[in-house]
Structure 1
């Protein structure tokens, strides 16, 4: 092994793990080893009430942990702590949570990191790109009966919250050495706490993780809204047009890659025309089923974001301009609803998801929009 590989593993905190994997051989490939972690995580989640908190709720819990929160927030924190400790529930995060809580100063961030580690145990929904691949694979399997889901998973841990795959190695090594390094890296990444992740950034997440949509982009979105409303487009027209654009721009490149890999691995048993037919079927079915509101739980991320955007673009009752926070809200919803049992968010978004879109029923996820509703759902333990 090269020295730079040793340094790389040292940064992950895994020299002892590397020695163990070297000693115990490399019969199990690294990708299968990662799969064992995923399988164990999925089994645990299957028996647990999975709760997603948006950033506002994490801030309320942080204040309660610091002793500066409301009595209601303090009560909710105590209840969640007890439920997690009893293995009755688990709170989970996603990269959007990381980006938003990272706007805090170090002192506040340290308290939040402790809370995240305690209530999530490092469990996170996969990154947006990984979720897109998973959801495309699920749709391909359901539509053209090609199983392209191997190696994909909608869940991960904080160490791989940005990318749910084996890390790239920074230098040459033997096959056996690479497998040992990769498996030791998986051990390190899947047991990494939030506190360690923030520490690696020097607790300067406000600058290093800061994310805002450019004002120019937001202004262009507002301009488009005004133009679309001037043309008199209906909600159905906007949602259909927006979804079709997303299918062309985001879904089909991923679906095409998955299908091409499937056909190539089997040496095109039905000929090249079968690949082209599969692509056309996937694209047409996605667009038509969304228009007909018959997708069910398939393609949830794209569908939820599209539905919320269409409501915004056709809303003539409010003059409030769109903001980065609105983008984060829709991103939280798109991650939480398909994969969690309960979603705690702000009141206005909860109203849209429940009363307008009926998304809580569609995806089988309770949507809670206030502390009062949370108390009703989670009585004091």
Structure 2
């Protein structure tokens, strides 16, 4: 999602950029970010050699290698997701009287999702001014609160424009699913929905096939969302359906 926002701002700033479909993919070892060893105890030349060696090792790591390394280490506590879901349900109930259409629900969720990326947007602005030469080398660029708030608002507004949804695709999917759930005032969000919505946002935006459970398939295929059709992704929720789709490829 950060890559999509960065792509949008760099493109609108006039920079030459790679296609978004090329930028979002990475090796499995870097799925949670790019980290490199760093210490002042080694010379710059030795530090660079060490970083290259680690990069090469990580680049060749398979999914099973990563799983073996994680082993029995602690995983994120689902209780945290339950707290988030509970808070969202409470807020949705409190503001339910303000939501009279799906469009209103989408508008509210777009603002909420965009606000999550305030820090990311500041980093992107720093990249842009550095790349453009607006700020001299070695001078730190700091985005003030007013500029950051305006940029967040721009992302929220962009999400409501059809043309921007081709770039902010995973954000649009996430906003659409939360808005759909919020518009259906009888349904409550749970901890698993938070994970499932993120799975759907990534898969439908960039994959050819998304295999999921029937309730989520029903949601993403709602006519007023039209997510699989927009991003040319086939969704299946049964073993038979998945096998038929694979045989047809």
TM range (shorter): 0.7 to 0.9
Structure 1, residues 248-283: CA drift from partner, whole Å, max 9, x if none? Answer: 331x432332223322344328xxxxx99x979865
Match of 2:38 in 1: 169
Cα distance between partner residues in 2 of 1:177 and 1:363: 46
Could you say which residue in structure 1 is the equivalent of 2:86?
219
Aligned mate of 1:345, from 212, 218, 226: 212
Unaligned runs of 5+ in 2: 136-142
Are the equivalent residues in 1 in contact too, given 2:28–2:61 (CA < 8 A)?
yes
Residue 328 of structure 1 and its aligned partner are, at CA, apart by 0.8
Higher RCO, Cα 8 Å, sep 6+:
1
Paired residue for 1:333?
200
* Preserved contact between residue 114 and residue 153 of structure 2 (Cα < 8 Å): no
SS of equivalent to 1:367: strand
**Residue pair 1:343, 1:368 contacting (<8 A) in 2 also:** yes
Distance 1:244 1:147, change over 3 A: farther
1:372 and 2:240 correspond: yes
- For 2:211 and 2:238, the matched residues in 1 are separated by 8
1:210 corresponds, among 71, 76, 81, to 76
The aligned counterpart of 2:184 is 315
Q: Can you list the C-alpha shifts for 1:110-135, whole angstroms capped at 9, x where unaligned?
A: xxxxxxxxxxxxxxxxxxxxxx3311
CA distance in 2 between counterparts of 1:210 and 1:254 reads 23
How large is the RMSD of aligned CA atoms in angstroms?
3.0
Quote the offset at 1:171 in angstroms.
Answer: 4.7
Q: For residue 145 of structure 1, what is the aligned residue in structure 2?
A: 14
Report if aligned partners of 1:286, 1:295 keep a CA contact under 8 Å in 2: no
User: Residue 172 of structure 2 aligns with which residue?
Assistant: 303
Q: How far is 1:325 from its partner?
A: 0.8
Q: Which runs of 5+ in 1 are unaligned?
A: 1-131, 270-274
| Contact 2:5–2:121 (Cα < 8 Å) also in 1 | yes
TM-score (norm. length: structure 1): 0.55
SS in 1 for 2:247: coil
Structure 1 residue 284: deviation in Å? 5.7
Q: How far, CA to CA, are the matches of 1:230 and 1:282 in structure 2? A: 29
- Sort the Cα spacing of 1:268 and 1:231 in 2 relative to 1 into closer, same or farther, 3 A: closer
Distance, in Å, in 2 between the alignment partners of 1:288 and 1:304 is: 15
Asked if structure 2 preserves the Cα contact closer than 8 Å seen for 1:246 and 1:302, the reply is: yes
SS in 1 for 2:165: coil
Residue 160 (str. 1) matches residue 30 (str. 2): yes
State the distance in 2 between where 1:363 and 1:380 align: 19
Partner Cα separation in structure 2 for residue 288 and residue 232 of structure 1: 18
**Structure 1 residue runs of 4 or more that deviate by more than 6 Å after TM superposition:** 278-281
Change (3 A) 1:231 1:302: same
Task: Give the C-alpha shift of residue 214 in structure 1.
Answer: 4.5
